């Protein structure tokens, strides 16, 4: 809670993110709160930015040759726009976490990425206010892949409203000069139904993605829509990447997927270096661990024997890094095809 300073009670004067019933408690909690204060302040600034609908500035430079991504989201953004304030970095990351998570996965599993002229992404369980349906964040992939001439992004989910069908995006002048094409396709449907209905019109995927998926969230519920889609999502034709809010949720999501498709293999499982850096509050916890991030934990799978590679980032390194983060994050979940329990502001 937040509140003004007053006789006998008040909030932290620096971040205004924590309310105390008395000044004695404020003083007693000072050391514990200090580790969170800057994050609370950043969270508040980002929320205000979204409330004011301030435009998010994305880096516009095009790479002339393929360059592997920087180790983290923040390093990547600052390498292209070094003078951005932390709130601007966080705002940009909230838009870019979706395309850059896809690019990070492809960098790990697809040797032909740097020279591919065509790329198709299937984003399954998409919902309004979560995955960007505007062109700019997806066009950003073209700015990082100099050879890429055509990008097709399919957003599909029963919670996806707005205009339906394929829309050819208006690109920046630099991309127009290179005669590039970006198609954003929106379909309000379940993935297993859509795949049969639009097989001729929609290109086969290079990569399937499910962001903040919550595969396990509705298991046992008669309205659970994931089981029929999961076997198709994890077939041999393309890798599947899904994100979860933490390691424990990722394990539950993987278990749910394996109940639908037992033979899937894990290629990579680790905290996502391209998660959003915008901190979000979870008001359901009372232990001070109130922060979480969009696309925080990443799992990449391929079914059967297709494209298996050594899981160098799976195991101790990922678990140790997750253990360091786990104590700082809220146990929150988004529900994928069934809908989500938390609606994040659309900053795109």
Q: Please name the residues in contact with 316: beta carbons below 8 A apart, sequence gap of 6 or more.
A: none
pLDDT of residue 52: 64
Q: How confident is the model at residue 133 (pLDDT cuts 50, 70, 90)?
A: confident
pLDDT of residue 177: 92
User: Which helix H or strand E contains 114, and what residues bound it?
Assistant: none
CATH class of 56-338: alpha beta
Buried b (16+ CB within 10 A) or exposed e, 118-137: ebbbbbbbbbbebbbbebbb
- pTM of the predicted protein model: 0.79
Domain range annotation of the chain = 1-54, 56-338
* Residue labelled with tokens 């850096």: 277
Q: How far is CA 150 from CA 75, 117, 147, 171, 315, in A?
A: 27, 7, 9, 12, 36
More confident residue, 278 or 304: 278
Neighbours of 330 (CB within 10 A): 20
pLDDT in tens, 159-217: 888 888 889 999 999 999 999 999 999 999 999 888 666 655 678 899 999 999 999 88
More confident residue, 154 or 18: 154
pLDDT in tens, 90-112: 888 888 999 999 999 999 999 89
Helices 247-260 and 316-326, axial angle in degrees (round to 10): 130
pLDDT in tens, 25-78: 777 777 767 666 767 766 766 667 666 666 666 667 788 999 999 999 989 988
DSSP state at residue 9:
B
């Amino acid at each position: 809670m937040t509140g003004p300073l007053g006789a006998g009670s008040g909030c932290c004067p620096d971040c205004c993110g924590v309310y105390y019933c008395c000044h004695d408690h404020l003083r007693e909690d000072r050391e514990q709160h200090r580790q969170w204060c800057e994050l609370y302040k950043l969270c508040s600034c980002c929320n205000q930015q979204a409330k004011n609908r301030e435009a998010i500035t994305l880096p516009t430079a095009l790479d002339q040759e393929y360059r592997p991504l920087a180790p983290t989201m923040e390093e990547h953004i600052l390498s292209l726009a070094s003078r951005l304030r932390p709130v601007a970095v966080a705002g940009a990351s909230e838009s870019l976490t979706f395309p850059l998570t896809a690019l990070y996965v492809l960098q790990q599993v697809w040797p032909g990425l740097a020279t591919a002229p065509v790329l198709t992404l299937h984003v399954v369980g998409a919902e309004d206010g979560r995955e960007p349906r505007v062109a700019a964040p997806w066009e950003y992939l073209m700015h990082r892949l100099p050879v890429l001439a055509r990008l097709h992004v399919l957003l599909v989910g029963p919670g996806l409203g707005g205009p339906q069908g394929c829309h050819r995006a208006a690109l920046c002048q630099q991309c127009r000069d290179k005669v590039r094409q970006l198609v954003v396709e929106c379909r309000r449907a379940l993935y297993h139904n859509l795949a049969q209905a639009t097989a001729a019109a929609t290109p086969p995927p290079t990569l399937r993605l499910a962001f903040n998926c919550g595969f396990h969230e509705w298991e046992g519920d008669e309205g659970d829509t994931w089981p029929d889609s999961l076997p198709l999502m994890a077939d041999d034709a393309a890798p599947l990447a899904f994100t979860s809010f933490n390691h424990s949720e990722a394990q539950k999501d993987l278990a749910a997927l394996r109940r639908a498709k037992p033979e899937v293999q894990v290629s990579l499982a680790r905290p996502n270096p391209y998660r959003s850096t915008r901190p979000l509050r979870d008001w359901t916890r009372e232990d001070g661990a109130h922060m979480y991030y969009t696309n925080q934990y990443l799992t990449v799978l391929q079914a059967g024997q297709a494209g298996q590679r050594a899981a160098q980032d799976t195991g101790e390194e990922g678990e140790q890094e997750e253990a360091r983060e786990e104590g700082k994050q809220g146990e929150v979940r988004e529900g994928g095809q069934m809908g989500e329990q938390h609606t994040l502001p659309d900053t795109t």
